[in-house]
Amino acid sequence: MPYLMKHSPVAVAISLALSSALFTAHAAVIDFANLPASGAVTDLPAEIQALIPATANANFSKNTSDPNYVYQYSPGNIPIYGDGITLEGPGAEAFEHSVTVIQNSTSGSPGVIFGDDLTIRTQSKVAANNGKDVDGIRTHGMNTPDNPVFIITGDRTHIYVNGQSGDGINAGYSSFSQGSLGSANIYVGDDLYIETTGSTGRGISAYALNDASKAKNNIIVGDRAHIVTRGTYAEGIRTNQSGSYVRLGSEATIETYGTSAYGLYAGSASKIELGKNATITTDAASASGVYSTGSSTITLDEGATITTNGASAHGVYAYTGAVNLGDNVTIAVNSSEKTSSSAQAPHGMYAWSRGVITLGGGATITTAGQRDSGSYALNASNGGVIDASAGGKFTLNGDILSAGGVAATSTAAAQNSAIALTMQDNSLWNGASYIESNANGTGTIALTMNDAVWNMRDSSTLTSLTLNAGGTINFQHAEDAAWQTLTISDDFIGNGGKLVFNTVLFDDTSETDKLIVEGNTSGHTGVEVNNIGGTGAQTIEGIEIVSVGGNSDGTFEKASRIVAGGYDYNVV
């Protein structure tokens, strides 16, 4: 059995659940070949020591065996394995996992350390199970957050699990008879690869059965992790309960192939975080890329790419939970189909029932469907919120909707649905905007445009509009299409932006696109008019293109000549 001379970096900044301090684990070399048979943990590199709980044994043991599995239940000396270990046999205990660390006590922290290139191939010894409930790495027990079990592996850990409910890494399980406890810290280096095959098999699962005061499970992974799951409900990452936390470093890739197989799923106040340039792809119906519910939070750093290909599969879905997205996220929703007549068509971003999606910058969002198929690039409904007010470069190909509100509860005030969108830096939007009401309120949409173009494909409604310099709204008028109206239910502010209308330039009865402001206007706005078949005629009252219900302090001036036949029109 070869043992190389180092233990790899666990290369990621980690916020340990047991401390408010932030530890950064850098390259830590363990000279495994020259380790004594046993020694003190204080002789190990400081970066490794920082990952070992204070309640763990103060000593380690060098393990030179070639095991089929690793089953660590004793809080005695910490076993350290070298590089290149391959585990191919089932565990000896009832659950048959390849690596199991268990503690059926409320004291002591058993754990195990592996070097680089650990390979796990999990297979049940019971043929009828075909891997059922068999995990690659599993923690189990009744230990509390102040004495977690722990597992540390190096770079290039490869885990393959085949069978129903088989997870690549599963932290935090315990039985109800044990008080629903169980706490664990699992640290994995760079270039992790996990592949699961079978329904309900998750790549990574942190699933506390209690709140954070009684159970904490942390799984921290380095850069370039790659997770592939195949099967119904086989999610890439799943967390549950407030004590469950999973963090992957930069350039993570997550792929799921199965119905209702989310890329990321966070429930019951748990947390998931991914570093820069993550890629998430789902390939089947009801398989949203990112799903946060039950006051959970999912955070993706800048440069994330999310692609869904199935019916009713949203790019980002926040239902009573929160999703935070960094700058320059790309979302492609490649289906416009519903799984049933009562289901939702897929949306790029979907915030529902107090769900909140917050963008730190711009985004590119493309949907295969539009309002006629029930699909939206942005959809905030029943008190949902999409906050893109920080601004950035947006490329939106799809419609947006803010619909209704949610009633007050004993702990939360009533809340309207809301979208706040600030487009800048050469942004482009091809689509339309819609606001709807329900018994509990009405949606709101606040749009600010700086150096941005909106090609308005259908009559639209906004709550407020600020049209700054470089901002242009083009009323679209395809052949035989209806004339368009943009309605602003509150105020319109013009700071040098431009409106481009289509009008039959003739007399007072001419058909035209129109801006209706039910509130007040202010500032200055340029106006262009495309002549649609008009031959020109004398007007008396004029062709109304702007209507103001409140204080009309704003000025509208033509940005270029408006001519039909021998008639030259002005904007007055």
What are the CA-CA distances from residue 328 to residues 11, 283, 388, 393, 427 (Å)? 24, 23, 12, 8, 12
Q: Which domain holds residue 564?
A: 487-569
Phi, psi of 219 (to 5 degrees): -125, 115
- First-to-final CA distance of the chain: 88
- Cα of 430 vs its chain's centroid, Å: 23
Residues 6+ apart with CB under 8 A from 407: 414, 440
Residue 513, pLDDT score: 97
User: CA–CA separation, 307 vs 263, rounded Å?
Assistant: 10
Is-contact 269 242, C-beta < 8 A? yes
Residue 170 in domain:
yes
**In this structure, how many other beta carbons lie within 10 angstroms of the beta carbon of residue 458?**
18
Instruction: Note the helical H segments in 40-135.
Output: 46-49
User: CA–CA separation, 456 vs 472, rounded Å?
Assistant: 10
Of 449, 531, 538, 457, which is closest to residue 497 (Cα–Cα)?
449
Residue 350 in domain:
no
Q: List the chain residues with pLDDT less than 70.
A: 1-29, 91-95, 124-131, 173-179
Domain boundary among 226, 255, 273: 226
Scanning the structure block, which residue is given the tokens 């935090």?
A: 172
Residue 267 in domain:
no
- Edge-to-edge strands of the sheet including 460-462? 460-462, 485-488, 514-517, 546-548
Residue 163, pLDDT score: 84
Residue 20, pLDDT score: 30
Domain boundary among 226, 259, 284: 226
Residue 109, pLDDT score: 95
Instruction: Note the helical H segments in 346-477.
Output: none
Q: What is the pLDDT of residues 105-121, one digit of tens each?
A: 878 899 999 999 999 99
Residue 395 in domain:
no
Q: Count CA atoms within 13 Å of residue 44 on its CB side.
A: 25
Residue 286 in domain:
no
**Size of the chain in residues:** 572
Residue 197, classified by CB atoms within 10 Å of its CB into exposed (0-12), middle (13-18) or buried (19+), is buried
Scanning the structure block, which residue is given the tokens 């046999």?
A: 89
Residue 2, pLDDT score: 29
Is-contact 130 162, C-beta < 8 A? yes
**Count of structural domains, the chain:** 2
User: CA–CA separation, 359 vs 169, rounded Å?
Assistant: 30
Residue 89, pLDDT score: 74
Angle among Cα 549, 552, 553 to the nearest 5 degrees reads 155
Per DSSP, what are the bridge partners of residue 359?
325
Residue 564 in domain:
yes
SS3 525: strand
Q: What is the dihedral of CA 479, 481, 483, 485, to 10 degrees?
A: -130
Domain boundary among 172, 203, 226: 226
Residue 494 in domain:
yes
Residue 116 in domain:
yes
User: CA–CA separation, 392 vs 372, rounded Å?
Assistant: 28
Angle among Cα 439, 314, 451 to the nearest 5 degrees reads 85
Is-contact 371 336, C-beta < 8 A? no
Q: What is the pLDDT of residues 338-374, one digit of tens each?
A: 999 999 999 999 999 999 999 999 999 999 999 999 9
Residue 481 DSSP one-character state = P
User: CA–CA separation, 392 vs 217, rounded Å?
Assistant: 36
User: CA–CA separation, 505 vs 499, rounded Å?
Assistant: 17
Residue 49 DSSP one-character state = H
